[in-house]
Structure 1
Amino acid sequence: MGDILQTAKEIQKKAWSVIEETGVVKHWTSIGATINLVGSLKTGLMINNRDIDFHIYTNPFKLSDSFLAVSRFAENKRIKTISYTNLLEDEDKCIEWHAFYDDQDGNSWQIDMIHILNGSFYVDYFENVAERISKVLTNETREAILRIKNAIPIDKKVMSILIYQSVIEGGVRSLEAFWRWMEQNPNEGIVTWVP
């Protein structure tokens, strides 16, 4: 068990240094935004997928502010690409920014910055999900989640929340059992499961 936990600890330490090196928090707070860490780094369940997730709020919401924060963030020479998706008219009611940062060791990190409209159903939603997951984790479920996540090939996209649900709610403890669970529990779109 110690090896998988140590591996997770090391990648999470590096993730925190990426946050610091990019100045992502500073750039968003410079426009008056509240920026919240969500996802696997927040829950301590990051292992092999270098993906850092933030949910961001401004009041009032101004699209120009979103572009201003990202333009400052983009000045970092290690930021290689940034994509933008406008979902303000969709269910999500947000702007999605996906940036790719190359660290000093040649690893690529994805930094997701989701700027959410104040009227969105998802305001503070995933912050609550991360908090609930953190509260219900045991040593056994943490290890099972990390082992399953680590065994999934990087090029195979699986939403982490489905792994968490399968382990915490479904009692899954292996990659093979997780694939069976996925077949029995198909899911598309935004997953709204909360433990």
Structure 2
Amino acid sequence: MNDLMELARKNEREAWSIVQELGIEQAWQDVGGKANLVGSLKCGLLMKHLDIDFHVYTDGLDVAKSFQAVAKIAAHPNVTRLTYSNLMDTDEHCLEWHLWYRVSEEREWQIDMIHILKGSEFDGVFEDVAERIFAALTPETRQTILRLKYETPDDEKIMGIAYYMAVLRDGVRSYEAFTKWREETHLDGIILWKP
């Protein structure tokens, strides 16, 4: 288990190094935004799925300014791909950015930046979720979540919130039990559960 904790710490150090190297927070600040870390890195639960999640808030959703911030970030030579979705006219009131940062041929990070209208329905929601998950963790549940993430096959994409719900809410402690839990628990769309 110490090996998994060390792997998690190693991934966290690399993630923070990438955030600093890309200047993510400053790029958004330069266009009047505030970038808040959410997700597994914020919760200290980063394992094999290399992803970094930010929710970015501005007073208005200006597509040009959003592109301006992302252009600074994506100019880095290690950024290999970028996708964009305009969801301004949905309940989510956001612009979605996903970029990929290549460390090596075998190691690539996905960075999700969701640009959200300040004051809209999801303003601050996932920050609260991350803080509540972090506060609810014990050494035993942290290790269990990291182990379940590690035991998940590389080709399976499972939302982090599924692990947290299974372990923290429903007491799942093995990958076999987690697989059964997933079969019995239908998770679709945006999951707003928090401990």
On the 8 A contact 2:30/2:69 being kept in 1, the answer is yes
User: For residues 57 and 95 of structure 2, what CA distance do their matches in structure 1 show?
Assistant: 11
- C-alpha contact 1:18 1:103 (8 A) present in aligned 2: no
* Percent identity (aligned): 44
* TM-score for the superposition, normalised by structure 1: 0.96
Q: Distance in 1 between matches of 2:91 and 2:165?
A: 23
Match of 1:54 in 2: 54
Letter in 1 for 2:54: F
Counterparts of 1:53-72 in structure 2, within 5 Å, are 53-72=53-72
**Corresponding residue for 1:151?**
151
Show structure 1 runs of 5+ residues with no match.
none
Instruction: Return the letter of the residue paired with 1:33.
Output: G
Which secondary structure does the structure 2 equivalent of 1:86 belong to?
Answer: strand
- Is residue 40–residue 46 contact of structure 1 (8 Å, CA) maintained in 2? yes
Residue ranges of structure 2 left out of the alignment (5+ in a row): none
Q: TM-score, normalised by structure 2?
A: 0.96
> 1:107 deviation in Å?
1.5
Conserved 8 A contact 2:61-2:94: no
The 5-angstrom pairing of residues 156-175 of structure 1 reads 156-175=156-175
Show structure 1 runs of 4+ deviating over 3 A. none
Describe the SS at the equivalent of 2:101: strand
**Number of residue pairs the alignment of both structures matches:** 195
Aligned to 1:107: 107
> Aligned letter for 1:109?
W
- Residues 82-113 of structure 1, C-alpha deviations (whole Å, 9 max, x = no match): 10011111222111000001125751110000
Secondary structure in 1 matching 2:163: helix
Deviations 1:4-28 (A, max 9, x none): 1111111111111111111111211
**In structure 2, what is the Cα distance between the partners aligned to 1:62 and 1:86?**
11
